[in-house]
């Protein structure tokens, strides 16, 4: 029988992975990102394009993406066994390909728990419009 979804927000290991991801994004820590992003990552950016793990790592390596602010709120976690879906509103600032951006965004991330920790297998980010 399938396990019912959990909304247990006390999942310390997943919350720690989310915090580690924010630190890695802010510092463009390629080693940390390499561990947190699954090799099969499929991520949809705010432009609607689909990015793989190597695309994300290269954007940080080259400086195409620079993130200077990540302030999370409205975090929701749903667990399905070894899979978790995280929705989080993020006040962000930085630049993408030299163009500054700032404002509220919402991420949806799908994490998979492995023996060696949590990995992001899929995700999506979009700008929050209005009061969203």
Q: What is the DSSP string of 96-124?
A: ETTEEEEEEEEEEEEEEEETTEEEEEEEE
In a domain, 4, yes or no: no
pLDDT greater than 70 at residue 7 = no
How many domains does the structure of the chain reveal? 1
Residue with tokens 């080693």: 31
Query: What are 40's two structure tokens?
Result: 């099969």
pLDDT band at 131 (very low <50, low <70, confident <90, very high): low
In a domain, 2, yes or no: no
pLDDT greater than 70 at residue 5 = no
Residue 131 has, within 13 A of its CA and on its CB side, a CA count of 0
82 CB-near residues (< 8 Å, 6+ apart): 112, 113, 114
Q: What is the pLDDT of residues 26-56, one digit of tens each?
A: 999 999 999 999 999 999 998 899 999 999 9
In a domain, 5, yes or no: no
Tell me the longest C-alpha to C-alpha distance in the chain.
50
In a domain, 95, yes or no: yes
Q: What is the CATH number of the domain that holds 99?
A: 3.10.450.50
Show the domain range for 102: 12-127
């Amino acid at each position: 029988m399938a396990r019912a979804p959990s909304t247990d927000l006390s999942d310390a290991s997943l919350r720690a992975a989310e915090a580690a991801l924010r630190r890695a994004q802010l510092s463009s820590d390629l080693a940390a990102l390499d561990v947190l992003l699954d090799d099969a990552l499929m991520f949809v950016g705010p432009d609607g394009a689909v990015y793989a793990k190597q695309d994300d790592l290269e954007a940080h390596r080259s400086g195409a993406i620079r993130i200077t602010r990540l302030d999370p709120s409205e975090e929701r976690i749903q667990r399905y066994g070894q899979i978790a879906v995280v929705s989080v509103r993020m006040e962000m600032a930085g630049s993408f390909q030299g163009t500054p951006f700032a404002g509220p965004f919402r991420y949806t991330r799908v994490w998979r728990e492995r023996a060696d920790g949590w990995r992001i297998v899929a995700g999506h980010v979009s700008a929050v419009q209005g009061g969203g």
